[in-house]
Copies of this chain bind each other. A is one copy, B any other.
Amino acid sequence: MTKIVIIGGVAGGASAAARARRVSETAEIIMLERGEFVSFANCGLPYHISGEIESRDALLLQTPESFKSRFNVDVRVLNEVLTIDRQAKQLTIRNLATNETYQESYDKLLLSPGASPIKPPLPGIDSHFVHSLRNIPDMDKILSTLMLHKPKHATVVGGGFIGLEMVEALRHVGLEVSLLELADQVMGPVDLEMANMLHQKLVDNDVDLRLKTGLAAITECPIQLTESDNTDDYDKPASPHFHLQLALSDNTTLATDLVILAIGVKPETSLASACGLELGKLGGIRVDDEMRTSDADIYAVGDAIETADFVTGHPTLIPLAGPANRQGRLAADNMLGANIKYRATQGTAICKLFDMAIASTGLNEKTLLKKAIPFEKIYVHTASHASYYPGAHPITLKLLFSPDNGTILGAQAAGLDGVDKRIDVLAVAQRAGMTVYDLADLELTYAPPFGSARDVVNQAGMVAANVLLGDEQICHTQDFVNLSANQIIVDIRNPGELTTAGAIDGAINMPLPQLRDRLNELPKDKELLVFCQVGLRGHVAYRMLTQHGFKVRNLTGGYKTFQMVNAHF
C-alpha cells in the first residue's frame, strides 16, 4: 500500500489526488492545503469580482467532503507543511486551526504549491488597500473593500492575464481604472504590435493606461469629507475614507483608492529549497519529464516547476491551469509505478479583455530574437466567418515559422470572435509538427456562421507557403523606415481607402485595378515596396509586377499591420 502525500489542493494537486485514487483503490492519499479551500476555480476569481459569476459557491468546485466521499482522499485544509525530512520521509505539519504541530510520513510526496504573487518591497506596500488576487480569501478581501469603502478609482499594477482581467472587472463594476505596466506593452506572451490592439481596447474603455511606468511608493492619506460627500453618499461606511497617493517611476504621482498588484508570480519553492531539492535557473523546482524532482520519491507539478519549452527544449516557467492539471494526473500515475512522460509545454494561452480576445501558442518574436532562432513572420487580417453573414469580425493573426522548413514556431491572434478556435487549431498543428504547407491544406468546419471556405488559418498557411516557396517576397513595417534611394513605396489601395484608413507619407498611390495598364509609370531599376490594406491585393500586385520584370516586395499584413506597429500608447 503506497502512501501518497500531496502538498497543495488546487489544480495540479487536486488532479493528482483524484487520479491517484482512480489508479489505486488501496493507496493511502492525503492532501494537505495551507488555505481554507481546495480545488477552487482560481481562474474564475476576477469574474466573481466583476459580478459576471454571480455565485461565490460556483467557484468552489470540490470540498474536502466531496473529495472524501468520491475519492476517499484525506483532505486537510488549513494544514501547512513546515518541513520535509527527506531522509526519514517525514513531514512536519502545522494545523493552522488548532496551531498544533504533527508528523506525517510518506512513500511518495507531490509538491503542488503553486506560485505566489510578486510583492516588491516598496514603501507602503502593506497598506490594507493594496491587494493581490491568488485565492478565495484575496477575492473576498477585494470584494469587501469594494463594498465597504466604495472606492472610485483603482490602480492595477501589471498588465498580464490577472492584471487585464482585473482592469476589466473593476471597469465592469464602475470604477475608474489606471493600469501601470513597467514594460512597453501589456500581455507579455504576445509581441508589441499585437499588444497594441489591447492598448487600444483599454483606451477605448476609458482605462488610464500608463506603459513604461512602475510603482515606486504608496502613501495612505485620510480624505477630508466634503459637504457633498455627506449629502450624496447616504450609505456611508463606518470606517473613514482613505485614499492612496502613488509615487510612480516617472516621478509623477497618482491618487487612487485601491491598488491591485498583478506584476507576476514566482514559483513557491521555499519548502523544496529548504529540504535541498534542486531548483532550476529560472527559480522553479527542477523536475524530469516524469515530474520527478532531484529526490526520486518527491514529485512536483504546476506553477512551481520548470518544464521544457516545446520549441527550444529549454526550461521555462508556465504558470497555467491546463499544464498543471495534466502534470498532476501524470505525476499520480508515475507515483504509482507508471513511467509516463510529460511532453513539453507550448504555453498556449488566451485572455479576454472587454469584447476582445487575444491568444497565443509557441514562442513569440521577442523570444525568438533573444534566443537567436531564425524565423519568418506573416500577418493575416480576415473575417472570423463568411463576411456576408452577420456578426463577422476581423481576426488578426501573426504566424511565426521556420524559414528553413516551415515548421510552426508560434502564433498570436486577436479579435472579437473566433480567436480561441484559431489558436487551438494552430496549437494542435504545432504540436503535431505540421508545417505552414500543412496549414494551407487543413480541412476545417465551414458554414457561413462559423468560418470561411478558406479559413484564417488556411490563409495564413498559404501566405507563409508563398514566402517559403519564393512565390512572394515580403517586407515588414520597419523596411519602410529610412528607405534607400533605390526603393519606392507603392500603395495599391483605392483612393477612398487612403482617406478613410490613412496613408503613408511618400507612397505613390496606384490602385490595383489600374496597375496592369500603368506599368510604364513604375521604375524597373528600383525596388517597389507594395502594400494594400491587409496584404491580399498586395500579393496579386506582387505576382503581376514581378512577372513584368519589376523588383518587388509586399508588406505582409498591409496597412493594418503598419498601423499596429506604429501605434503609440
Q: Name A residues whose Cβ lies closer than 8 Å to a Cβ of B.
A: 11, 21-26, 41, 43-44, 47, 52-53, 58-59, 61, 69-72, 161, 320-326, 343, 345-352, 357, 359, 361, 386, 388-390, 420-421, 423-425, 427-429, 431-434, 438, 440-451, 453-455, 458, 512-513, 516, 537, 539-540, 543-544, 547-548
How far is it, in angstroms, between the C-alpha of A24 and the C-alpha of B198 when the chains are bound?
41
Select one of B351, B447, B512 contacting A350, CB under 8 A: B447
How far is it, in angstroms, between the C-alpha of A186 and the C-alpha of B458 when the chains are bound?
30
Q: Which B residues lie within 8 Å of A443 (CB)?
A: 322-323, 345-348, 361, 427, 431
Question: Which 10 A-B residue pairings sit nearest by Cβ, starting from the closest?
Answer: A432-B432, A25-B547, A350-B445, A69-B513, A321-B453, A58-B388, A421-B421, A22-B543, A420-B450, A348-B443
If the complex has contacts A22-B540, A420-B450, A540-B71, are A349 and B445 also in contact, measured as CB distance less than 8 A? Answer: yes
> Judging by beta carbons under 8 Å apart, are B424 and A540 in contact?
no
> Judging by beta carbons under 8 Å apart, are B350 and A450 in contact?
yes
A and B contact pairs by CB, cutoff 8 A, 7 listed: A26-B547, A41-B388, A53-B388, A350-B446, A350-B447, A420-B421, A432-B438
CB distance from A354 to the nearest CB of B (A): 11
How far is it, in angstroms, between the C-alpha of A451 and the C-alpha of B537 when the chains are bound?
35
Q: Which B residues lie within 8 Å of A343 (CB)?
A: 441
Q: Which B residues lie within 8 Å of A72 (CB)?
A: 516
> Judging by beta carbons under 8 Å apart, are A23 and B543 in contact?
yes
Q: Which B residues lie within 8 Å of A450 (CB)?
A: 350, 352, 357, 420
> Judging by beta carbons under 8 Å apart, are A322 and B423 in contact?
no
Give the nearest-CB partner of A26 in chain B. Answer: B547
Q: Count chain B CB atoms within 10 A of each CB in A70, A447, A548 and give the residue with the most.
A: A447
Q: Which B residues lie within 8 Å of A451 (CB)?
A: 350, 420
How far is it, in angstroms, between the C-alpha of A326 and the C-alpha of B446 when the chains are bound?
13
Q: Which B residues lie within 8 Å of A446 (CB)?
A: 43, 320-322, 348-350
Give the nearest-CB partner of A423 in chain B. Answer: B445
Q: Count chain B CB atoms within 10 A of each CB in A41, A357, A424, A540 and give the residue with the most.
A: A424
> Judging by beta carbons under 8 Å apart, are A70 and B349 in contact?
no
CB distance from A187 to the nearest CB of B (A): 12
Q: Count chain B CB atoms within 10 A of each CB in A11, A26, A420 and give the residue with the most.
A: A420
Q: Count chain B CB atoms within 10 A of each CB in A24, A388, A428, A443 and give the residue with the most.
A: A443
CB distance from A18 to the nearest CB of B (A): 8
How far is it, in angstroms, between the C-alpha of A449 and the C-alpha of B164 when the chains are bound?
14
Select one of B26, B70, B357 contacting A540, CB under 8 A: B70
> Judging by beta carbons under 8 Å apart, are B326 and A441 in contact?
yes
How far is it, in angstroms, between the C-alpha of A351 and the C-alpha of B444 when the chains are bound?
13
> Judging by beta carbons under 8 Å apart, are A70 and B361 in contact?
no
CB distance from A64 to the nearest CB of B (A): 13
How far is it, in angstroms, between the C-alpha of A453 and the C-alpha of B442 when the chains are bound?
25
> Judging by beta carbons under 8 Å apart, are A348 and B71 in contact?
no
If the complex has contacts A444-B427, A540-B22, are A513 and B70 also in contact, measured as CB distance less than 8 A? Answer: yes
Q: Which B residues lie within 8 Å of A389 (CB)?
A: 44, 47, 52-53
